[in-house]
Amino acid sequence: MSMSEAAERIRERMKSDDAVRVSIALFGQPGCGKSSLINRLTGQKLALEGVRNDVTTERQEFEWNGLTLVDLPGYDTSRFPADAYLDRFRVLDFDLLLCVFDGKFHQADTELFHEVAQRGKTCLFVRNKHDTLWQDGKELADLEREIADNVAEQVGARQPVYFTSCRLNTGLGALEQAIKDQLAPAKQERWVRAAKAYTQEFLLEKKTLCEQRVNWSAVVAAASGTVPIPGANFAIDVPVLVLLLKFIRETYGLTDKALSTQEFAVPALAPLVNSVVKYASTEGVLLLLKECGGMVVAEQVSKFVPFVGTLVAASLGFAIVRKVGNHYLEQCHRLADALLHVQLKERVAAPRA
Ligand SMILES: Nc1nc2c(ncn2[C@@H]2O[C@H](COP(=O)(O)OP(=O)(O)OP(=O)(O)O)[C@@H](O)[C@H]2O)c(=O)[nH]1
Ligand SMILES: [Mg+2]
C-alpha cells in the first residue's frame, strides 16, 4: 500500500469515528440535579443549575463533542399517557437513559422505567445529592442499602444504584464507567472523548485515543504536505495538525470556556493552562512546529542519509507531526491530571453537608 493510499484510509477512518454520536436522556423530578449532572459529566457549563425549569413540557437538549444530553420533562401519566410521552420525546431513540432522583424514589419514575425497560432500553439509576445523605444513628452504608432496596422493591428487580454528589464530585467516576460499559463498542470511544475524566484510568483512556489520533494524523499530514517547513526541504499539511490539536484539547475538555472557570484558577496550573492555550491556534501550531521541527530534523536526518526524495520528506514530516502532537498531548494530559489531583484533595478536605 502506498503512503497516499494509507493516508486516504486513515482519513476515512477518522471521518467515520468523528461522525459517531452518543445520546443520553436524563429524567427525574424537578430539582434532583439533572442540570448539575449534565455539567459534571461533560465538565462543561452547558445547563443552568439551580434554575427552576418552568418549561416542564419541553425537552432541553445540550451538545458537547458529539454527545447529546437531554433533560426530559418529568413523566406524569396525568399529562402524558406513556405512549405519547415516549413518542413525543423520542425516548426510545436514546442510547441510554439515566433516572435521577434525590429524596424519595418517585412513582412516576418507576412507571417510566417500566415503560422503557419493556422496550429493551437500558436505564441507570442515579441517586444524586449523596452529600446530603445523613440520618442520626445510621451508617452511610445502611442508608445506601435502604435506598437500593427501595429501588429494587419499586421497580421489581435489583438494579445497581449510582450514588453521586455534584457538590463534592463524588461517584462520578463510577457513573461514567457504567455509562461507557452500557454503550455499544463503537460508541464507547465517543463517550471517552466527551466525558470529563474523574479517575486516572479514564484519563489514560483519553490519552490512548489521542495517541492513536496523533499517529494517524502524522501519516495524513506527512502524505499530503502543503506547507514547507523552513530550513527543511519538505512540507506538511498544517490544517491537519491544527485539527489534531483541537481533537486533543477537546478530548481533555480544555476549551477556552472551561479554562476560564474557577476550577482552573489555581496558581499551580497556570503554566500548563498557558501552553495549552498558546499552541491551540494556527500561529501556535507553526510556533510548535518551529520548536519541535529543528530537533526532529537533527535526530532523524542521519537515519535517512542513504535515501533521497519523497520518502525522506514524508518520513521527516511524519516524525515532526508525531513530535508536535505528542508534545501537545503531554501538556494537555498533565493539565487534566493536575486538575484531577487538585479536585481529589478538595474532596478529601470538604465537610459533608
Ligand atoms: N448538596 C447538593 N446539592 C446539589 C447537588 N446536585 C445539585 N444540587 C443543587 O440542587 C439544586 C437543583 O439542581 P439542578 O441541577 O438545577 O436540578 P434539576 O434537576 O436540573 O432541576 P430542574 O431543571 O428544575 O428540573 C441546585 O441548587 C443545585 O446546586 C448535589 O449533589 N448535592
Ligand atoms: Mg434543570
Name the strand (E) or helix (H) holding 266: none
- pLDDT at res. 326: 96
Nearest to 323 by CA among 302, 304, 301, 297: 297
Please give the grid coordinates belonging to residue 200: 486516572
**What single-letter DSSP state applies at residue 33?**
S
Nearest to 344 by CA among 200, 207, 206: 200
Task: Confirm whether 8 is domain-assigned.
Answer: no
Amino acid sitting at position 33: G
Mutate which of 49, 106, 109 for ligand 1? The one with the most ligand atoms within 8 Å of its CB, which is 49
Q: Is 148 in the same domain as 230?
A: no
Q: Relative to the CA of 132, which ligand 1 atom is closest?
A: 1
Distance CA 233, CA 82 (A): 67
Residue 16 buriedness (CB in 10 A; 0-12 / 13-18 / 19+): exposed
Q: Is the C-beta atom of 36 inside 6 A of ligand 1?
A: yes
pLDDT tens for residues 81-105? Answer: 777 888 888 888 999 999 999 987 8
Return the residue matching grid coordinates 506527512. Answer: 222
Amino acid sitting at position 181: D
Task: Confirm whether 1 is domain-assigned.
Answer: no
Q: Is 212 in the same domain as 145?
A: no
**Residues recorded for the chain:** 353
Distance CA 42, CA 19 (A): 18
Task: Confirm whether 13 is domain-assigned.
Answer: no
The overall average pLDDT reported for the chain is: 86
Q: Is 97 in the same domain as 186?
A: yes
User: What's the gap between Cα 173 and its chain centre?
Assistant: 12
Of the three residues 190, 219, 234, the one that is the final residue of a domain is: 190
Instruction: Report the DSSP pairing between strands 235-236 and 22-28.
Output: unpaired
Higher pLDDT, 290 or 168: 168
3 state DSSP class of 98:
strand
Q: Is the C-beta atom of 60 inside 6 A of ligand 1?
A: no
| DSSP class per residue in 117-135 | HHTT--EEEEE--GGG---
Amino acid sitting at position 45: K
Range of the domain at 274: 197-349
Contact 265, 345 (CB under 8 A): no
Distance CA 353, CA 325 (A): 44
- pLDDT at res. 296: 62
Q: Report the CATH number that the domain containing residue 118 is assigned in CATH.
A: 3.40.50.300
Q: Is 230 in the same domain as 271?
A: yes
Task: Confirm whether 302 is domain-assigned.
Answer: yes
pTM summary value? 0.90
Q: Is 157 in the same domain as 225?
A: no
Q: Is 207 in the same domain as 293?
A: yes
pLDDT tens for residues 253-307? Answer: 999 989 988 888 888 899 999 989 998 888 888 888 887 766 665 555 445 444 4
Lowest mean pLDDT among 114-128, 216-230, 256-270, 332-346: 216-230
Task: Confirm whether 288 is domain-assigned.
Answer: yes
Gyration radius of the chain over CA positions: 24
Task: Confirm whether 3 is domain-assigned.
Answer: no
- Count: domains in the chain: 2
Say what percent of the chain tops pLDDT 70. Answer: 86
Please give the grid coordinates belonging to residue 194: 466527551
Q: Relative to the CA of 166, which ligand 1 atom is closest?
A: 31
Of the three residues 157, 190, 223, the one that is the final residue of a domain is: 190
- pLDDT at res. 231: 55
Q: Is 104 in the same domain as 123?
A: yes
Of the three residues 155, 190, 225, the one that is the final residue of a domain is: 190
Q: How many CA atoms lie within 13 A of 226 on its CB side?
A: 7
Please give the grid coordinates belonging to residue 228: 514547507
Mutate which of 35, 45, 76, 128 for ligand 1? The one with the most ligand atoms within 8 Å of its CB, which is 35
pLDDT grade for 73, boundaries at 50, 70 and 90: confident
Task: Confirm whether 11 is domain-assigned.
Answer: no
Residues forming beta bridges with residue 99, ordered by sequence position? 27, 125
Q: Is the C-beta atom of 169 inside 6 A of ligand 1?
A: no
- pLDDT at res. 281: 85
Q: How many CA atoms lie within 13 A of 153 on its CB side?
A: 10
Q: Is 39 in the same domain as 179?
A: yes
Cα dihedral value 72, 74, 75, 81, nearest 10:
-90
Amino acid sitting at position 252: Y
Task: Confirm whether 17 is domain-assigned.
Answer: no
Lowest mean pLDDT among 72-76, 235-239, 300-304: 300-304
- pLDDT at res. 314: 64
Q: Is 279 in the same domain as 299?
A: yes
Q: Is 31 in the same domain as 165?
A: yes
pLDDT grade for 232, boundaries at 50, 70 and 90: low
Please give the grid coordinates belonging to residue 16: 467515520
Q: Is 164 in the same domain as 300?
A: no
Higher pLDDT, 140 or 108: 140
Contact 250, 193 (CB under 8 A): yes
Alpha-carbon dihedral sign for residues 140, 141, 142, 147: positive
Q: Is 135 in the same domain as 260?
A: no
Q: What does the pLDDT average to over 232-240? A: 71
